[in-house]
Amino acid sequence: MIKLRNVNVAYGKRQVLNNVSLKVDRGKMIGLIGPNGSGKTTLLKLMAGLLQADSGYVELSGETVTRRTANKIAYMTDTDNFFPYFNARQIFEYYESQFSDFVMEKALDVAEFLSVPLEEKLKSLSKGNRGRLKIAATFGREADFYLLDEPFSGLDPMVRRQIAKGLIRYTDPEKQTIVMSTHEIQEAEPLFDELIVLSYGNVIATETVDGIRDRYNMDTTSWLVSLFEQKNKEEAF
């Protein structure tokens, strides 16, 4: 379990996360939803141990999350930081040298499933193929938690569907958890068990997808639109 208690983060005078408390259990597919600037990337970096909170606690299985925790949590950034003159095989070899839980055979299997060219240099790959490669490298690890920052961003619908299938195929739903930020709600809705909704650094809702359908009689997109409309009305008074 990843647990956050009363977490605050500010960048200068701007409050990015405001007294956030939540928990992420194993065996879940969780969507992290919110407009740009709501704190999603900051929250993922906190969970991954890449960023320290100004106050509050972030814990993994009862232990404080630090940079050393990165060897237990697979984090995929929304930026493309790979070496441009490496090919996919060299990227996998680099991951293998850095992470004890990286399994080359699995990474190659994911790459084949996602049709990742193995021998082309990254600088020659399309954005879609680089996106596929990031997924293959990340899921080449056998981590308990996968934290994905906008894995569908800028990709065409066919690539997004292929990646969505890969997320299901290459994780164990009983033992492993995916926390994924995304704006592609309709594409990702079938994947999610739960949603965490952020607005201006505040968690304004946590809800299961089944609960949204049963309690509100809405699909996820309609519920989110309704939630933010109500939030905007409250802030107007």
Q: Is the pLDDT of residue 161 over 90?
A: no
pLDDT for 79: 82
Q: Is the pLDDT of residue 233 over 80?
A: no
CA angle 117, 76, 151 (to 5 degrees): 70
pLDDT for 211: 93
pLDDT for 173: 84
Share of the chain above pLDDT 70, in %: 98
Q: For residue 58, what are the β-bridge partners?
A: 4
**By the 8 A CB rule, do 141 and 99 touch?**
yes
Span 51-75, average pLDDT: 89
pLDDT for 118: 95
| DSSP class per residue in 62-92 | TEE--GGGGGTEEEE-SS--S-TT-BHHHHH
Domains, in order of start, for the chain: 2-236 (3.40.50.300)
CA distance 83 to 123: 8
pLDDT tens digits for 102-144?
999 999 999 999 999 999 999 999 988 998 999 999 999 999 9
Q: For residue 2, what are the β-bridge partners?
A: 24, 60
CA distances from 165 to 73, 112, 237 (A): 21, 13, 44
pLDDT confidence band for 235 (50 / 70 / 90): low
Q: Is the pLDDT of residue 236 over 60?
A: no
pLDDT for 237: 54
pLDDT for 99: 93
Q: Which is higher by pLDDT, 71 or 209? A: 209
Span 48-56, average pLDDT: 94
CA distance 229 to 53: 30
Mean pLDDT over each residue of the chain, to the nearest integer: 91
pLDDT for 234: 72
pLDDT for 231: 80
pLDDT tens digits for 17-32?
999 999 998 899 999 9
Show the tokens assigned to 28.
Answer: 């879940």
pLDDT for 66: 84
Q: Is the pLDDT of residue 205 over 60?
A: yes
Q: Is the pLDDT of residue 8 over 60?
A: yes
Residues 6+ away with beta carbon under 8 Å from 104: 92, 93, 96, 140
Q: Is the pLDDT of residue 87 over 90?
A: yes
Q: Is the pLDDT of residue 191 over 80?
A: yes
pLDDT for 29: 94
Span 48-58, average pLDDT: 94
